[in-house]
C-alpha cells in the first residue's frame, strides 16, 4: 500500500517492490521492506486503531499487500499479553508478562509471517511455494497456502515433531522428510526450486515473513498503551520475530507513536544450538555455523541464521543479551509455567524462563522492570518431548 522499495539490510542496495525477490543479488543478505511512513500516518493513527479488525491486518498501512482481496487470513495476530502474577511472584518480578503466540492459527507465531508471505505470493502471481522447516513454519505455510489455493512443498528433518508432519499432510501440502537439519532441508529447496518452479519462502530469504512478524512489536506497544516494556526475552532460531520487532519500533518512532526508548532485547537459545549466543559473547557481527546442533526444542535448532547480523545488531544496540539454556532447564520450565499460569507452552517459549533467571542472577534484570516472555507456540505439538503419562 505504502511500500516504496525493498532494501538490502547489509549493503543498502535498493530493489523494485512489486517484483519477486529472495536475497540481495549483491551480497546474499536479507531484503527489508521500506514504506512511505508520512503517507501511512495520514490514516494510520493510534486513535484509528480503536475500531479496526482484531488481527494483525489492523496495521495494513505498514504491511506490504496492496489489494485487500489478496490478503490470505485465518485471523492471526492480536494475541493475548498475559500478566504472569504467580510466576512473577516466584521470580520477584511484579511486572512479568507472557505474549502468548500459541493462540494464533496453526498454534504458533509462524502464522504471522506466513500470512504476509503467502498474501504477497498470491498478489505477485506465485503458484508454488517451498520452505525448509523444523516444524511450525511448515504447518503455517501448509495452512495459508491451502487457504490461498497455492501449492506448498515442505522439507523437514525426519525427527520433526509428528504433530507438525500430520498438520502439513492434512492441509494438503507435499511433505518430504529428510536426514539432517533444517540447513540440509534448505539446501534441497535451493537445489530444486528453479527446475520445480517454486518460490522459496525460507526465513528471511524473502522480504515478507518479517513484515508479518513485526506486528508483534506494534501489538506490544498498543497493548502497553504506547510505552514499550523494559526487557523482551525472545527464543531465537531464525530470529525473524526479533528482527521484525526491532524494525517495528523504528517505524513506530517515525510515525510519532513512541519515543526513542527501546526494550533490551534478549535472544534465548539452547546450549545444543547456540550460534547467536556464541557470536554475541565473542563480539562478532556474524555467527559461525553451529556444528552438530541438537536440541529437543526443534524451533531453536537453526545452526546458521541468514539474518544473524540483524539479530546481533539489535541485541547490542538495545544493550541486550544472549543466553543459552540446557534442554533439561527448558523442559522443566514447561511444567513450571504450566502449573503457575495454566499455559502449556512450547519448549522454545519455555526456554525464556531459565534464561530470565540467569539474567536476574547476573543483575541484568531489576525487580521493578517490566519484562515480557514470548511463548512462540503450543506445547501440545511437542508431545514426544515429554515422558509418557499414566495409562
Tens of pLDDT, residue by residue over 314-367, are 999 999 999 999 999 999 999 999 999 999 999 999 999 999 999 999 999 999
Q: Looking at the predicted structure, is the pLDDT value of residue 78 above 50?
A: yes
Grid coordinates belonging to 385: 518431548
Query: Domain residue spans in the chain?
Result: 81-106+209-383
Q: What is the mean pLDDT of residues 168-194?
A: 95
Q: What is the mean pLDDT of residues 189-200?
A: 95
Note the pLDDT of residue 388: 58
Question: Distance between CA 334 and CA 97 in Å, rounded?
Answer: 16
- State whether the Cα torsion 273-276-281-285 is positive or negative: positive
Q: What is the mean pLDDT of residues 263-275?
A: 98
Q: What is the mean pLDDT of residues 175-197?
A: 94
Alpha-carbon distances of 164 from 161, 168, 353, rounded to whole Å: 6, 6, 24
Q: Looking at the predicted structure, is the pLDDT value of residue 166 above 90?
A: yes
Q: Looking at the predicted structure, is the pLDDT value of residue 391 above 80?
A: no
Note the pLDDT of residue 135: 87
Starting from the edge strand earliest in sequence, which strands make up the sheet with 31-35, in order? 14-15, 3-8, 31-35
Question: Where does 81-106+209-383 sit in CATH, by number?
Answer: 3.40.50.1100
Residues with Cβ within 8 Å of 312's Cβ and at least 6 positions away in sequence, in order, are: 276, 279, 280, 284, 285, 286, 287
Q: Looking at the predicted structure, is the pLDDT value of residue 137 above 90?
A: yes
Q: What is the mean pLDDT of residues 52-62?
A: 98
* Neighbour-count burial for 174-183, b at 16+ CB within 10 Å, e otherwise: ebbebeebbb
User: Among 26-35, 176-185, 255-264, where is mean pLDDT lowest?
Assistant: 176-185
Is 159 exposed, middle or buried (CB count within 10 Å of its CB: 0-12, 13-18, 19+)? middle
Tens of pLDDT, residue by residue over 94-113, are 999 999 999 999 999 999 99
Note the pLDDT of residue 42: 97
The pTM of the full predicted model, rounded to 2 decimals, is 0.96
Q: Looking at the predicted structure, is the pLDDT value of residue 390 above 50?
A: no
Note the pLDDT of residue 387: 74
Note the pLDDT of residue 1: 78
Note the pLDDT of residue 134: 84
Helix, strand or coil for residue 111?
Answer: helix
Residues with Cβ within 8 Å of 87's Cβ and at least 6 positions away in sequence, in order, are: 96, 336, 337, 340, 341, 353
Amino acid at each position: 500500500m505504502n511500500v516504496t522499495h525493498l532494501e538490502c539490510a547489509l549493503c543498502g542496495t535498493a530493489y523494485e517492490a512489486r517484483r519477486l525477490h529472495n536475497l540481495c543479488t549483491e551480497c546474499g543478505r536479507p531484503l527489508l521492506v521500506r514504506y512511505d511512513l508520512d503517507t501511512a500516518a495520514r490514516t494510520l493513527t493510534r486513535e484509528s486503531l480503536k475500531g479496526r479488525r482484531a488481527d494483525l491486518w489492523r496495521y495494513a498501512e505498514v504491511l506490504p499487500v496492496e489489494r485487500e482481496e489478496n490478503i490470505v487470513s485465518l485471523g492471526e495476530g492480536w494475541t493475548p499479553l498475559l500478566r504472569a502474577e504467580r510466576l512473577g511472584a516466584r521470580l520477584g518480578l511484579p511486572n512479568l508478562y507472557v505474549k502468548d503466540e500459541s493462540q494464533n492459527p496453526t498454534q504458533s507465531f509462524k502464522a504471522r509471517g506466513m500470512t504476509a508471505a503467502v498474501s504477497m505470493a498470491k498478489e505477485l502471481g506465485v503458484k508454488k511455494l517451498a520452505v525448509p522447516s523444523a516444524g511450525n513454519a511448515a504447518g503455517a505455510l501448509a495452512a495459508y497456502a491451502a487457504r490461498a489455493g497455492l501449492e506448498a512443498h515442505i522439507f523437514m528433518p525426519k525427527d520433526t515433531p509428528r504433530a507438525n508432519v500430520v498438520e502439513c499432510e492434512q492441509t494438503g501440502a507435499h511433505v518430504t522428510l529428510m536426514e539432517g537439519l533444517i540447513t540440509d532441508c534448505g539446501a534441497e529447496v535451493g537445489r530444486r526450486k528453479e527446475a520445480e518452479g517454486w518460490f522459496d519462502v525460507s526465513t528471511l530469504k524473502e522480504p515478507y515473513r518479517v513484515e508479518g512478524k513485526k506486528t508483534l512489536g506494534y501489538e506490544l506497544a498498543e497493548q502497553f498503551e504506547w510505552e514499550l516494556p523494559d526487557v523482551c526475552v525472545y527464543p531465537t532460531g531464525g530470529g525473524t520475530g526479533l528482527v521484525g520487532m526491532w524494525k517495528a519500533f523504528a517505524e513506530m518512532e517515525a510515525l510519532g507513536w513512541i519515543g526513542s526508548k527501546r526494550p533490551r532485547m534478549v535472544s534465548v537459545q539452547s546450549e545444543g544450538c547456540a550460534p547467536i549466543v556464541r557470536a554475541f559473547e565473542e563480539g562478532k557481527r556474524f555467527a559461525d555455523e553451529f556444528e552438530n546442533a541438537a536440541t529437543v526444542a526443534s524451533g531453536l535448532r537453526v545452526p546458521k541464521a541468514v539474518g544473524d547480523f540483524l539479530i546481533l545488531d539489535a541485541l547490542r544496540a538495545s544493550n541486550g543479551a544472549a543466553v543459552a539454556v540446557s534442554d533439561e532447564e527448558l523442559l522443566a520450565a514447561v511444567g513450571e509455567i504450566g502449573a503457575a499460569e495454566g499455559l502449556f507452552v512450547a519448549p522454545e517459549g519455555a526456554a525464556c524462563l531459565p534464561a530470565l533467571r540467569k539474567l536476574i542472577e547476573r543483575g541484568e534484570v531489576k525487580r521493578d522492570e517490566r519484562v515480557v516472555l514470548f511463548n512462540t507456540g503450543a506445547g501440545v505439538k511437542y508431545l514426544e518431548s515429554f515422558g509418557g503419562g499414566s495409562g
